[in-house]
Structure 1
Amino acid sequence: MVRDPSGRDDDYECEDVLSTLGDEPTRTIIETLSEPMTANELSEACDIPLSTMYRKLDKLTEASLVTESTEIRQGGQHTTRYEIDFTEIAVLLSEEHTLTATIDRPSRESTADQRLEELWAQIREGT
């Protein structure tokens, strides 16, 4: 399931971010994602079984570190691509001694394809 990219800004928990970054295979995925890739491409590049790759990608997406986008191909087939959705992560200790994480996001201008994808995501949610 492709998640709504418009809800990405502050939709994360510090605990999820830290837990995700504490996992070596998810760090390998982040290091490998220099450009948008499919789960199959990542599985091969990282030498991680495909079933495990999907779980790791779900974890990265839920922590708001990776975004999903759907590439629509001729013939009605489509594929999901994953890409990094941060430029910097900072972990801070507050005066109350609680940890917080802040995520800096890349600035993105919305393309026609992205707007269409967002529209389809909203239509699917409504049905």
Structure 2
Amino acid sequence: MSLGFSSSDESPDIAAVVGALDDDACRKIVGVLEEPLTVDELADRTGLPLSTTYRKLDRLTEANLVTETVGVRQGSHHKSRYIADFDDISIALDDDRSFDVDVGRSSSRSADIWSETRRTF
């Protein structure tokens, strides 16, 4: 069974990143995403309604701050799990005096995602 990632390697939009980080519910989700979790697990751990959890995960995924992993089998269905896949975020002025956002990702994060996913089989 393969594991796929839905987020892209593109530079994230600064407004999307700042907007997600300015959202209390998004920060709450990122705060518990130390390991891959399903939407149900996230809703339980954060105390957020399921519908809010889905909306906030969409926002975090669009900002390239959370990655959706696919391929975890539970019964006859594949369950998506989510992981916060960044270590740091920096915002700076580039040479043109425009804001540039950089999301730092640890190279060990991929290994962490695989090891956590394997445990669920």
- What range describes the TM-score normalised by the shorter chain of this pair? 0.7 to 0.9
CA RMSD of aligned residues (A): 2.3
Question: 2:67 is matched with which residue?
Answer: 67
Task: Report the Cα distance in structure 2 between the residues aligned to 1:104 and 1:60, rounded to whole angstroms.
Answer: 15
Question: 1:120 is matched with which residue?
Answer: none
Is 1:98 aligned to residue 93 of structure 2? no
Task: Report the Cα distance in structure 1 between the residues aligned to 2:7 and 2:103, rounded to whole angstroms.
Answer: 14
Q: Select the structure that is richer in strand.
A: 2
Instruction: Output the amino acid matched with 2:102.
Output: T
Identical positions, percent: 39
Q: Deviations over 1:46-71 (max 9, x none)?
A: 11000010000000000000000123
Q: Which has the higher contact order (CA 8 A, sep 6+)?
A: 2
Q: Give the TM-score taking structure 1 as reference length.
A: 0.74
Task: Report the Cα distance in structure 1 between the residues aligned to 2:50 and 2:6, rounded to whole angstroms.
Answer: 27
Task: Report the Cα distance in structure 2 between the residues aligned to 1:51 and 1:26, rounded to whole angstroms.
Answer: 13
Q: Name which one, 1 or 2, has greater alpha-carbon Rg.
A: 1
Q: Cα 1:54–1:74, aligned 2, differ >3 Å: closer, same or farther?
A: closer
Q: Cα 1:94–1:5, aligned 2, differ >3 Å: closer, same or farther?
A: same
Q: State whether residues 42 and 53 of structure 2, in contact with CA within 8 Å, keep that contact through their aligned partners in structure 1.
A: yes
| Alpha-carbon offset, residue 74 of structure 1 | 6.2
Instruction: Output the amino acid matched with 1:80.
Output: S
Task: Report the Cα distance in structure 2 between the residues aligned to 1:7 and 1:32, rounded to whole angstroms.
Answer: 19
